[in-house]
Amino acid sequence: MSVHEPSFIVGADVEVPVPAAGEVWTVGAVILDRDGAAFAQKRSADRRLFPGTWDIVGGHVEAGETLLEALAREVEEETGWRLRRVRRFLGTTTWTGDDGGGIRHEADYLIEVDGDLDAPALEWTEHSAHGWFGRDDLGRLKENLGPGEFLIHDLIARAVEALPDTP
């Protein structure tokens, strides 16, 4: 249990899974801009896991962290933005990477951030590009993927398509 007071708001109905001992967990963040487009970053071609593919902000939960602490840390590390609000739990996925690291459980969230959305401070050693994806260009998220490898596309599509047509 964390002794730190979070610097972000968590919606009252947001589910936060509790990892079991020995499980490997990751977290992911779908970040939307004012127009309802979702942020994604392209993984560098030399990455061990999923090279050259589009990904949401996120990463592994470190020892002693809660899922939401890891989410806040990863958002800041990968973009320079600060987690402001966890709006909705998007679900849990269990997956096995192509790196031999075994089974991972991933908790994904729709979040709001503070910071300049036009100028993310990307980790250029890990990512080669970034973009905003609306309803009309979700297909780009399938670049460099084979059939059935559309986890990120499907996750972002669910978040974007659930929004009303007008703000």
Structure tokens at 142: 């399938």
Q: How far apart are CA 20 and CA 27, in angstroms?
A: 15
Burial 32-48 (b: 16+ CB within 10 A, else e): beeebbbbbbbbeeebe
Structure tokens at 88: 């909705």
pLDDT attached to residue 45: 92
pLDDT attached to residue 1: 44
* Residue type, position 66, single letter: T
Digits of tens for pLDDT over the chain (167 positions)? Answer: 445 567 899 999 999 999 999 999 999 999 999 899 999 999 999 988 888 999 999 999 999 999 999 999 999 999 999 999 999 999 999 988 767 778 999 999 999 999 999 999 998 889 999 999 999 999 999 988 877 788 899 999 988 877 665 44
pLDDT attached to residue 46: 92
The phi and psi torsions of 156 (rounded to 5 degrees) equal: -65, -40
pLDDT attached to residue 145: 84
